Structure formats: C-alpha cells, structure tokens
Structure 1
Amino acid sequence: MNTTWGARMRKTAVLGLSLTLMGSALAACSKGSDTSAEKRVLRIGFLYSSQDSEQYLRQQYTDSYELMHPELDIQIVSALNYDDQRFQEQPDPSKPVAQPDPYEKLKEMLNGTNPVDVVVLDSSGTNYLKRLVQDNMLKQLDTIIQEKEFDIDDYVPTVINGIKEAGDNGIYALTPTFNSAALYYNKKIFADAGVEVPKDGMMWDDVFADAKRLAKGEGAKRVFGLQMNRWGGDAFNDMQQYYLPALQLKMFDDKGEKMTVTGPQWEKIFNTFAPLYKDKIIPTGQDMYDNGATDGKQVWNPYQGDLFINGRAAMTVAGYDYITELTRAKEQNAKNSKVPSVDWGVVTIPQHTENPGYGSAINLSALMGINTKAANADDAWEFISFNNSKEWAKLKSRSTYELIARKSMIKPRDGHDYNVEAFYTLKPVPPTSLDLEKLYREKPGIYEAQYLGNQSLQQVIEGKMSVQQALKDWETKGNEALKRTNDGTGEGIARPLG
C-alpha cells in the first residue's frame, strides 16, 4: 500500500550538492532560455503531498530541471493532501475516519478544469498505472520514444517488463529509480557448517532447508538460519512481507464477504511457517533483542538487534539500502574491533515453484506518465526524458537507498565486490486490482479479519491447535468480522492514514 512519507525522505541524497556537476553533465539537456518570453506552465501531479513535502518533491524531481529551463513555471499539484487528512476531525473516536478514494482523486487531478501535464506515481504506482491505462488517461510513450530516439535498451529488463505488464505490453510511463530486496548470507556460517552458499534463483523450500541445517545454539548465543525481517516482527507479518506477494493468494473473496483461507495452499503455508518459528529457525522480534548480555551485564553494541551483522543469522532478507549498513559496519570494525561486522554475499530473493521468476519486493518508485489531457504535452515529455536520461542517472547513481533503472549505472558501491544483479534479475509481481485497495478502505473490518490470521498461526506455533483447526478458526472468526463490517455493525481496525 502507500509508502510512508518518512520512508520516502530517507531515499534521496540532497540534490543541492550536485549543482556544480549538473552544469556540465546536463548542459546538453538544456534548451537554453529566453527570460523575456512569457513562461510556459508545466504542472506536475503527485498522488500525495503536503505543504511541507513540496520542498522534498521539488528537490527530488523538479529543481534541477527548472534551473536548466527558466522559461518554465513548474507547479506541484497533489491528488490528496496529507494536511487535510492530518487535520480531519474524528467525531467518534471509536470509528475510523472515512478516507477518500485515492484513484477517484487521481482522476480528478487528471480530468479537472486545470489538469496536470505529468503524473508521478510512487512505489505502489503500478496498480494505479494499470488502471489509468485501462481508463485511457495516459499517453502511450512507445511512439514518442521511437521518434525521439530515446534509449530504453539500457533499462533494466525487470523495470521495462514491469511497466509493460502494467500497460498491456505498452509503455505508458518511465521511472528513473526502483527499489528491490535480496537474500544476504553470512559466508563464515556457511563455511563452518560445510553448507554450500546460496545461489541466484533458489526456491523458498531450498532456503528453508538450508536454514534448518545452519541454526544452532541456545539463548543469547543462538544462531538462526534465516531472518525474514531485519526490523523484527512475528511469523504472520514476516510471511506477508516477502513470502505471500508472489503467490498472489487471497484471504477473502473479491467482495470482501467470505474468507478463503482453508484448503491445501493455506495448509502448506501454515505447515511451512509454524515449525520455522517454533523451532527457532527464524527469530521473532523478541529474539532479535535478546542478545548482547554477558553474565548479566549489557555489552556495548551499536548494532544491538541486528542479528545478521552480529553473526547470529545465517541469512536475511533485506533491501538494497542494507548494503550501506553492512559497509559502514565493516569500515568501523577496521577502526574498532568491538564493532561487529560480517563477511557477506547476496543473491536473488527466493522464488516460489508455483510462480517462478517473480521477486516479491521489486517496486518501481517514481513512474512518470503524460496525461492524455495535458495542455503542455511537449514539455511534459522533455521533463520525463530529462529525469530518465543517462546524464541524470549518473548523478542519481550516488543514491544509497534506490537502484537506478539504467543497468549501465548499476554498479557495486565504492569499488566493493558483490552480486548487484541479484537486485534486478527477477520480475516484479504483476499489479493487483485497485478493487482490493478499495475494499480495505471502505471495509475496515477486513483488517480485523486479516489480523486474526496472526492469532491462528500463533496457536499452531504454540502447539495449541493443528493447522486445520487454526485455519478453520481463522475462517469462522474472519467471516464474523466480515459480516459485521458488511452489515455496518462493526468498528473494525482502522488502517493508519498515509
């Protein structure tokens, strides 16, 4: 769903530091300027924004372009304003505040009396892109790309394939960056155990089997075979983050009226995950912070809670940004041996035999398309081509949180040697229908029905229920929650705004 604004703010390096370099690297992109002429207006639309965030959006997307194009007046527009949601009154604290339909607001921004020229969609944007294409609200870019001889051969195949899959095999948007996750592994733990290190293209079942072979020890010295979430959590949430998405398995029907969590697929998932947590092959959030003590005394550790860096997890699933932390730990360890460090490698995130070739954590982070009703379509394309150019990609390649969509600019950082292709070999999971997002928004009881799965899985882990009993219990209680929300008699669990 929508990425929190705080997470977005971490992604980007301050562009002001690059102004000197832009003068030389991007001069070829400039049309020159005629300050005496009346300025043309270019309206850039975002799904979410606020008064505070506009500065970030300009730094990230428009400041450099406006610097090179003084003949343009760039206006930032948003379909939804965070401030409106922040200051929205909640008459009844026991009931969630009604939330606007993001897609309807997006359409208003594109179809209004003063429509935007460019729309920029965030990391959940492929779902919106698919719907916008279906509703004929974006210009197809294939012909423009060909006429302008804009190079897309340099794009990472997973990015172009993801865009085409959302656009019925056509290109309706381009993104300069994307996010991805991979499987990191501790070389020493594998070597000491005599287990072959992971390879690209492994299946989840194979990774789980290795994890069982590598787990050992007790208490604060326990070495876990696999960490599904380096930030901590529980079995059910871990399962949802990286394991379930590529399966595209439903918890309830398309109308949000009936649970669909019984049957062989869900039984296999519960039978797979419950033993991994019961036998402490995978740690819980509590396990992650149960370390660092010696003889009852706390030992200084700047990486308290990071099991992988502390050598207590043989493998972990994490994003591209984790490389920054691993590199920092190694550099600091060279100065102070008390700082933990790890000799690591990285391979593609595990796949499912039922749906091979897809990675569960590939997000196209800044999809830019041209409104079919754009008043300034020419400048809209120039803006998109600039932000997706090789020159700009060279500057963006300094990012420590995002990957560049152009493969010629994706290289291991600072001369390090690791398998950077692991982050872009697999295809992104196909976009889902916006009808699902609408269900979650309009029927908050669905969150309650979903959360009940957490309790049911925990019952299996603790040995209080069999898998079939737990799934049946989830189905029964989930159907009750769905009935309450469909009847309008339940309060449900409100999802946080933003």
Structure 2
Amino acid sequence: MKLRKFTVLSLAATMAMGMFTGCASTQTAQTGNVETANQTQTADKKEEPKAQENVTLKVSTWDLAANPGITSSVKAFEEQNPNIKVEIIDIASADYTQKLSVMLNGGSELDAFWIKDADTTKSLFDKGQIADLKAYIEKDSIDLEAYNGLANNFTMPSGEIVGLPARTDYYVLYYNKDIFDAAGVSYPSNDMTWEEFEETAKKITTGEGADKKYGALIHTWQACVANWGVQDGKHTIMDTDYTFLKPYYEMVLRMQNDDKTIMDYATLKTGNIHYSSPFLTGNVGMMPMGSWFMTTIISKIQAGESSVNWGVATLPHANDVEAGYTVGSATPLVMNAATDKQDATWEFIKFMTGEECTKLYAEAGAIPGRSNQEALQAIANLEGMPEGVLEALAVKNISFDRPMADKVAEVNGMMGEEHSMIMLGEASVDEGLATMAERSKEIQGK
C-alpha cells in the first residue's frame, strides 16, 4: 500500500472522524447531463434563461443521529440551493453495507450515498453502480490536493474518479487518567512505542476478578493487530506473506496469556462485549481505537452514562516507525451511476466535500476529508474534549487499513477468520500466518 500523506500545517507535523465543505459558489442544478455555462443560442435571438427546476435528491447514510455534521451540512446546502431538497435515508450502521447493496442491485432511486466500508468502493464501481466524477471535478477545477492525499484512494487505475473524501478517521490511543494516577504512572506521550505500550500495561494493571483494572484493551477485530503491521505504509493486508504481523500477534498474545493485562479474546467474543463498554465504565487503562470514539465518549459523559476521566494520545508506533504515523480510512461520498439528476447530485457532493462543510463537520467532532489546522482546532475546542487532543490528532501520515483493490473485502474477511484461530490458541502464530498467506493467494489468484 502506498504511503498516504496527511500533513497538518503546524503543530507536530492530520483522524478525527466521526467534514464536508461547500464551495463558495454553486452551479445551476439541473436534471440530466452536465450543461455548459452558456446555453446554446439561436442566430436570431437569445433564449430566455430557464428557471431552475425543483429537484429532490435521495441520499443514504448510516446512524444519522450520531453524525450531526451531516444534518448541519445538509441544512446549509439547502439554504444555498433553495431549488434542491435532500431526502436522507438513514440506515442502521450494522446493516448499512448490505442494505445499500440490495438497494443498488434492485434499481434504487438513490442519487448519492456515503460508503461506509471504503474497500467496497471498487467493487461497486466495477458493477457500474458508481458514476465517474472526473469531468465534473475538472469542469469546476476542484483541487484534489486539498484532501491531503486521501482523494488518491478513489482514483481508479484507468483514471476514473469515483468519489471524494467527506471525512476521515484514524486510530489514536485513548487512556484513563484515573488509572494512571492511581498507579503513579505518567500519561502516554505522543511518541509512545508499542514496546512501551506493553510495559505500561503491566504497570497499571491492578486487582482481581470483578474488581480488576486492565492495563489495556485490544478489541476483537483483526484490524486491532493487523493495523500495527501496516502502520509504516510498507505492507498491506493484500500481501501474500504475513510474517510482518508476527511481532504484533506475539505482543498481544503475551499481554493476553502471560501478563493478563488485557481481557482475553474468548471472553470478549462470547460475551459480545463492545469495546466502548469496558472503557466507558473505567475498567481499562489504554485502548487503541478510531477517532470516531471521541464524540461517543463526550455524549455518554454529558448524558450521565459515564464518568470516565479520559485522555487521548497519538497511536503508539514501532521502534523503526516515525512518531505520528497511524492507520485509518476515508469515507467517500459518491454518485449513483443510475441517477437522472447528475448535475444536482454533483452540486451536493461538491458542497458536502468542500471547504464550508469542513468547518461544519469539525464543529460536530468529525475529522473532515479536507482536514487542516483550523478543523483540528475546532474539534479540540469542543466542550468535553480533553487537554492535549489537538497535538494527539496532528499526525504525520495515515496508512489505509484496507487498500482499494480487487478482492480486498474477501481477504479482510479471511484474515478475520484466521485471526480468531490465533487468538483462541487453535493455531500458533506461525501456523495462522502461513494459512493466511495460502488463502490470500487463492483469493487473489496468485
């Protein structure tokens, strides 16, 4: 996977969830194909300009209530484009990708949609369900560099541009200040290594049974091991040799089986324990997780459902990886290839991924695709954000957890299966990684 540069213009060198900005001017919204600014005129007389048609766009997203930046951005778009109304189709997060596929396969009237799992973008495009935006982008001179390299992930090998990044999220390290204070241990720095993470977990683990405070939590997703292997940008999950993951599996298994500093995988899986619960109840000292979790913590505290005294630091890194390198993804907004309202849909996409919405998303606690120092500062200024969050979010590089490639979803699913075998002790690290390699080759036809 190629290295994705995400450089913030000050501080330590951009995360944060969880974004969309409008351009200063909008184009005339029409149904049908792109029209030129100057309409064709007859030789005898000018045609009277046509009134803007009223258009209603249908757009799908997930968990709308948890993403207030979308609501405020849509409202701003409608105010600036009074002839265009936006109907949001809200789908539960757990069902979104499957229901979106069913809708598109069934000839849905969707005009645009956010893609939850970015690794499905290419397959949707290959099925003819996503429109190429390149002509619109060139026509309106959209500067793709404003997306800090994230837009490159949605450019096909053949040159089509299939979406623009609305927001981004990346992994950071959450920690419980009270647990650190009780143990007399300094809070994690923005230059913590994975070795220091493992050692620190030993120092802050206390108690037994129901009263135990774990030094850390590693969630059950295979990404919560594999991501640390792709953090340097030299590998991806599409490799067919997974020995680069061995140090991270060995670390997590030591923490689980020997040191007992993390909750064991079997307990988390069989109990269907969501990562948020142990952290919000104050039972874990550290947890690597996505930036999207910040607003959840704030909302739970404000609702009186948690009293966790939390902080956030930059994701730990390997000894040979520079501090400020992390792993994440981008959420693209795309156009349904079947829409008959292309121009109006483009105006919506352009606005929602433009500068104005960058501010609106940041003010809602989400990291926009066009993230910059001003956006990160707006996030840091949110009520309930801990001290130091601005520096923690100012990362230097984001490697994508799942690159846009053929069969990536299948490979990711396979890795999850083999991950379970390793974590449950049903296969050694070497055996599990060897099986991953064999199955990856089969899936990719190599």
TM-score range, shorter chain: 0.5 to 0.7
Q: Is the 8 A contact 1:129 1:167 kept in 2?
A: no
In 1, the alpha carbon distance for the partners of 2:330 and 2:82 equals: 30
RMSD of equivalent CA atoms: 5.7
Match of 1:349 in 2: 315
In 2, the alpha carbon distance for the partners of 1:269 and 1:457 equals: 12
Give the letter for the 2:403 counterpart: T
TM-score (norm 1): 0.56
Once the two structures are superposed, the pairs formed by residues 323-402 of structure 1 within 5 Å of their partners are: 323-328=294-299, 330-331=301-302, 341-353=307-319, 356=322, 357-360=324-327, 362-368=328-334, 379=344, 381-399=346-364, 402=366
Match of 1:459 in 2: 425
Once the two structures are superposed, the pairs formed by residues 220-231 of structure 1 within 5 Å of their partners are: 220-229=210-219
In 2, the alpha carbon distance for the partners of 1:276 and 1:422 equals: 25
Match of 1:211 in 2: 201
Match of 2:286 in 1: 315
One of 250, 268, 273 as aligned partner of 2:247: 268
Change (3 A) 1:308 1:375: closer
Change (3 A) 1:346 1:378: same
| Alpha-carbon shift at residue 290 of structure 1 (Å) | 13
Match of 2:176 in 1: 186
In 1, the alpha carbon distance for the partners of 2:260 and 2:225 equals: 15
Count of residues in correspondence between the two structures: 378
In 2, the alpha carbon distance for the partners of 1:305 and 1:439 equals: 27
| Alpha-carbon shift at residue 82 of structure 1 (Å) | 2.9
Give the letter for the 1:208 counterpart: E
Deviation digits for residues 112-131 of structure 1 (CA, Å, limit 9, x no counterpart): xx9x9x86552433773799
Q: Is the 8 A contact 1:123 1:363 kept in 2?
A: no
Match of 2:256 in 1: 277
Match of 1:15 in 2: none
Change (3 A) 1:73 1:35: farther
| Alpha-carbon shift at residue 277 of structure 1 (Å) | 0.5
One of 37, 46, 52 as aligned partner of 2:51: 37
Q: Is the 8 A contact 1:130 1:167 kept in 2?
A: no
1:69 counterpart = 2:81: yes
Match of 1:82 in 2: 99
Once the two structures are superposed, the pairs formed by residues 411-422 of structure 1 within 5 Å of their partners are: 411-412=379-380, 413-414=382-383, 416-418=385-387, 419-422=389-392
In 2, the alpha carbon distance for the partners of 1:84 and 1:131 equals: 8
In 2, the alpha carbon distance for the partners of 1:145 and 1:26 equals: 10
1:246 counterpart = 2:241: no
One of 134, 158, 169 as aligned partner of 1:139: 134
In 2, the alpha carbon distance for the partners of 1:119 and 1:424 equals: 31
Could you tell me which runs of 5 or more consecutive residues in structure 1 were left unpaired when the two chains were aligned: 1-10, 13-24, 50-55, 87-101, 254-259, 292-302, 334-338, 441-445, 488-498
Once the two structures are superposed, the pairs formed by residues 100-179 of structure 1 within 5 Å of their partners are: 120-125=113-118, 128=121, 137-139=132-134, 144=139, 146=141, 159-164=147-152, 166-167=154-155, 172=161, 173-179=163-169
| Alpha-carbon shift at residue 348 of structure 1 (Å) | 1.6
Relative contact order (C-alpha < 8 Å, sep 6+): which is higher?
2
Q: Is the 8 A contact 2:351 2:357 kept in 1?
A: yes
Match of 1:403 in 2: 367
Deviation digits for residues 411-434 of structure 1 (CA, Å, limit 9, x no counterpart): 331264431453452433246242
SS in 1 for 2:216: coil
In 2, the alpha carbon distance for the partners of 1:387 and 1:250 equals: 30
Match of 1:295 in 2: none
SS in 2 for 1:272: helix
| Alpha-carbon shift at residue 306 of structure 1 (Å) | 2.9
1:471 counterpart = 2:430: yes
| Alpha-carbon shift at residue 287 of structure 1 (Å) | 5.9
1:437 counterpart = 2:418: no
In 1, the alpha carbon distance for the partners of 2:293 and 2:417 equals: 28
TM-score (norm 2): 0.61
In 2, the alpha carbon distance for the partners of 1:40 and 1:432 equals: 39
Change (3 A) 1:363 1:268: closer
Higher radius of gyration, 1 or 2 = 1
Give the letter for the 2:187 counterpart: V
Change (3 A) 1:187 1:277: same
| Alpha-carbon shift at residue 183 of structure 1 (Å) | 0.7
In 2, the alpha carbon distance for the partners of 1:451 and 1:161 equals: 32
